[in-house]
């Protein structure tokens, strides 16, 4: 706190001195990444105050270019709007007295001509891009080379985190624009700023900080779709840490208009499975192995090796039910086809290669011998090779048939 009796100009000088020290440390934090920067021909914005000054000029140019583009669009819009006003007046006249209007052959001619010629011209005018607009678009494309890269953003985020660590600052302080004891609300962080710092925290395993930034981002966003971006990112972080219940609370904030991604569907399924599967496997005092000779008539003459794992719920393992010769035959005759795409598009649901087993009559009979269940409505047997990184997200393996007889 500055003494109240100091002259105003002295207070200002002290503030500037302290703030410059603060900025100096921030620059030092950014320059800590200089080793990485030297390996690149392009200078890093985050590691150089001089480069940051150039960014100000870049933004000036971008703003001017965008203003020019908006003016060009406004001229086009105003012209179309004036024509639409005239068109609407005549259209309302026709609707109010359409019989007398269309009874006049001149009006009928003008209507046909208007819809055949005028609307077509306006459509062409609407989709045509003005040369002035093209200039602004091209300028914007060329200026992309001057914009910060993802590496610059990563270094800037790291600088903020280093700043917090050195000065023991909290996310809510920085978000409010409080630096080194001085409050400058105009420098406060936006919702998107907080979200970016939260994502950086996740990437660098600073998950407590990430959650704090996510929370600040939520309080700043007003649009429900923007809020859901944060809820989703937060939920995925919690789900990764096995905090499924907390994750589900965030997933519940999904607006109805948004289609849930496969990632969200997967974690919702995992949570539902965890909530509904409350049975505890009770292992017997000792495992019982025996020959099953009672499921079907065939097992009386060819019993199957069966090992009990649990009595409640009842679970068993059947041993040696597929012979080595059968396995070799299936592998040698299989023609694996890729199933990682659906209609030519890469699928996020399943990535694998599979092959149907053509002659599966013997296997069907053996499953019936083990379970006592009919295989009549079963899918054909398949061999599936998931390879490196292959997967099939959580799904149901049942069919819903309605008996219409």
Distance CA(226)–CA(209), nearest Å, equals: 20
- pLDDT greater than 80 at residue 22: no
Q: Would you say 207 and 201 are in contact if contact means Cβ atoms under 8 Å apart? A: yes
Q: Which one of 148-152, 221-225, 256-260 scores highest in mean pLDDT? A: 221-225
Q: Which one of 147-161, 322-336, 360-374, 379-393 scores highest in mean pLDDT? A: 360-374
Say which residues have a Cβ less than 8 Å from residue 338's Cβ, sequence separation at least 6: 353
pLDDT of residue 211: 92
User: Which pLDDT band, with edges at 50, 70 and 90, does 352 fall under?
Assistant: low
pLDDT of residue 338: 52
Q: What is the mean pLDDT of residues 367-383?
A: 85
Q: Would you say 24 and 167 are in contact if contact means Cβ atoms under 8 Å apart? A: no
Q: Would you say 249 and 269 are in contact if contact means Cβ atoms under 8 Å apart? A: no
pLDDT of residue 13: 43
Average pLDDT of the chain to the nearest whole number: 75
Distance CA(213)–CA(234), nearest Å, equals: 10
User: Which pLDDT band, with edges at 50, 70 and 90, does 14 fall under?
Assistant: very low
Supply the DSSP symbol for 145.
G
The torsion region of residue 312 among left (phi > 0), alpha (psi -120 to 50) and beta comes to beta
Lowest mean pLDDT among 71-80, 114-123, 291-300: 114-123
Q: Would you say 157 and 200 are in contact if contact means Cβ atoms under 8 Å apart? A: yes
Lowest mean pLDDT among 34-43, 219-228, 304-313: 34-43
pLDDT tens string 225-236: 889 889 888 988
pLDDT of residue 29: 44
Q: What is the mean pLDDT of residues 7-26?
A: 43
- pLDDT greater than 90 at residue 390: no
Q: What is the mean pLDDT of residues 126-136?
A: 76
Q: Where are the domains of the chain?
A: 45-146, 150-271, 289-338+350-392
Which carries the bigger pLDDT value, residue 350 or residue 280?
350
pTM for the whole thing? 0.48
Supply the DSSP symbol for 279.
-
- pLDDT greater than 80 at residue 370: yes
Q: What is the mean pLDDT of residues 260-267?
A: 73
pLDDT of residue 389: 54
Q: What is the mean pLDDT of residues 391-398?
A: 72
Distance CA(253)–CA(231), nearest Å, equals: 7
pLDDT tens string 321-332: 888 888 888 777
User: Which pLDDT band, with edges at 50, 70 and 90, does 197 fall under?
Assistant: very high
pLDDT tens string 86-98: 878 878 888 888 7
User: Which pLDDT band, with edges at 50, 70 and 90, does 346 fall under?
Assistant: low
Supply the DSSP symbol for 29.
H
Distance CA(293)–CA(305), nearest Å, equals: 9
pLDDT tens string 163-186: 888 888 889 888 888 876 777 888
CATH class of 150-271: mainly alpha
As a whole-number percent, the residues of the chain with pLDDT over 70 amount to 74
């Amino acid at each position: 706190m500055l003494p109240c009796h100091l002259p105003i100009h002295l207070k200002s000088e002290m503030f500037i001195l302290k703030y410059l020290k603060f900025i100096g440390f921030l620059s030092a934090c950014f320059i800590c990444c200089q080793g990485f920067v030297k390996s690149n021909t392009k200078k890093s914005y985050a590691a150089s105050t001089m480069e940051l000054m150039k960014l100000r000029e870049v933004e000036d140019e971008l703003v001017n270019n965008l203003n020019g583009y908006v003016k060009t669009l406004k001229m086009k819009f105003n012209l179309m709007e004036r024509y639409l006003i005239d068109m609407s007046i005549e259209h309302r006249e026709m609707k109010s007295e359409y019989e007398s209007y269309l009874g006049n052959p001149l009006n009928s001619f003008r209507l046909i001509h208007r819809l055949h010629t005028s609307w077509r011209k306006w459509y062409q005018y609407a989709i045509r891009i003005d040369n002035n607009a093209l200039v602004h678009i091209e300028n914007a494309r060329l200026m992309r080379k001057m914009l910060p890269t993802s590496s610059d953003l990563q270094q800037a985020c790291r600088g903020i985190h280093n700043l917090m660590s050195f000065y023991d600052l909290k996310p809510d302080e920085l978000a409010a624009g409080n630096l080194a004891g001085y409050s400058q609300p105009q420098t406060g962080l936006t919702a998107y700023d907080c979200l970016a710092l939260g994502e950086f925290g996740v990437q660098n395993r600073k998950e407590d900080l990430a959650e704090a930034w996510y929370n600040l981002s939520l309080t700043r966003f007003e649009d429900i779709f923007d809020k859901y971006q944060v809820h989703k990112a937060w939920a995925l972080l919690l789900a990764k840490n096995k905090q499924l219940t907390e994750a589900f609370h965030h997933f519940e904030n999904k607006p109805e208009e948004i289609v849930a991604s496969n990632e969200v569907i997967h974690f919702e399924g995992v949570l539902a499975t965890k909530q509904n599967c409350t049975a505890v496997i009770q292992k017997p005092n000792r495992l019982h192995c025996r020959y099953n000779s009672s499921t079907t008539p065939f097992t009386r003459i060819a019993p199957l090796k069966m090992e009990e794992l649990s009595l409640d719920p009842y679970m068993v393992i059947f041993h040696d039910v597929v012979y080595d010769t059968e396995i070799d035959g299936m592998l040698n005759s299989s023609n694996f086809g890729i199933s990682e795409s659906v209609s030519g598009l890469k699928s996020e649901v399943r990535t694998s290669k599979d092959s149907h087993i053509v002659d599966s009559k013997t296997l069907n009979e053996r499953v019936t011998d083990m379970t006592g269940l009919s295989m009549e409505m079963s899918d054909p047997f398949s061999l599936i090779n998931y390879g490196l990184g292959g997967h099939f997200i959580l799904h149901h393996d049942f069919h819903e048939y309605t008996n219409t007889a």
